[in-house]
Amino acid sequence: MNFEWQEGNKLRLLENGEEFFPRVFGAIQRAERTVLLETFILFEDDVGNALHRELLAAAQRGVKIEVMVDGYGSPDLSDQFVNSLTAEGVRFIYYDPRPLVMGMRTNVFRRLHRKIVVVDETIAFVGGINFSAEHNTSYGPEAKQDYAVEVKGPIVANITAYVRQAMGSEAVTRRWWGGRSHRPAVNTTPGNAQVLFVYRDNDEHRDDIEKHYLDMLRTAKQDVIIANAYFFPGYRLLREMRSAAQRGVRVRLIVQGEPDMPIVKVGAELLYNYLVDAGVEVYEYIRRPLHGKVAIQDQQWSTVGSSNLDPLSLSLNLEANLIVYDRDFNQTLRDNLEGLLARDCQRVQEDRLPPRTWWQLTKSVVVFHFLRHFPAIAGWLPAHTPLLAQVDPPKQPEMETQDRVETNNEGAKS
């Protein structure tokens, strides 16, 4: 499924759960026909239970609802939570649920990492925010900093069509000549309010999101800001970041300084010398864990989505981003990121770079070669066909009881 740039859209940047959840819940409350929802994580906490109530209420008034969650990211939902939805007609799907082996989850690779909501085919939400309380700043020091986009307009039809196919609601359309890759859509007539829905799968669209990042870096003229939670990209993207900085573009990278997983910072630090030596400004976000996956270029290009710049997102996971070409949206996201840089980030100066020892050099060489060849390596990993496991509605005891009563009554009459 190949999409083109769509014009005439209305966009709203949503920061963290405080802005995201009320907008999503409000849209579901107003739903008249359909709700489509994909997410990596759905927890039974305050946020998850609030979503559950809104979905249940919408289903009870006749809205057709389809929900798909990742089998790795959302493994602990209770039967009561799920069955109460399916009993009201909600189609509930687990993406690739895998059995535990020696108490360990085995569906580590090729996860459903997208976060998409579409309501009535008229409004959509795309970004990096899961349905869990940790995305609210009130959660505390471990609350995640993240973003999503609310969009209305022609692009919603593209998002709807894609999600329906991903959920198995509609047949998958494929190009008759097949093929493993294609050139992502090019914006031939740049303007405003233009949006492109771009995704990565493990079929024809394996590197679409990465290609848009590469093109953005190659065409940047003034400045680039990339804020990415899990930064460990391929060699090509690192090279383009360096090239942009070396030709005079101000390139700023925001990564986690207080990561939710310590290994994230260890990996990113291996790349600091390579980037800073070329003039890339590296900043660590130190207020709380950074979970965002956003970027801006010059005055009009920007992206918000679920895709990190790490091996999992770029080579294995199922991801989705919106690429936006709009001056006002770019400025809104720019103002937000500039605020993070001014208030909550610490620049990695030369005196904070990892030591330039032989051991450090050896590690860096190994890392670069690994990054350069990781897509090919990932292609060798086991690639079973992911299972979409739909949860059947529970049997209704009251109906069985009623059947027995009716049978007894008929026997008495006879």
Known catalytic residues are 113, 115, 120, 291, 293, 298
Residue 358 is encoded by which pair of tokens?
């032989």
Q: Which two tokens stand for residue 403?
A: 């059947």
Q: Is residue 4 within 8 Å of 323, Cβ to Cβ?
A: no
Closest to 145 (Cα-Cα) out of 295, 340, 299, 314: 340
One-letter amino acid at 84 equals S
Alpha carbons 69 and 250: distance in angstroms, whole number:
39
Residue 59 and residue 65 in contact, taking contact as beta carbons nearer than 8 Å = yes
H or E element in which residue 91 lies:
strand 91-95
| Secondary structure letter of residue 134 according to DSSP | G
All residues at 6 or more sequence positions from 120 whose CB lies less than 8 Å from its CB, including other chains: 31, 32, 33, 34, 35
Which 3 state secondary structure label does DSSP give 115?
coil
Per the DSSP assignment, residues forming a β-bridge with 255 are 284
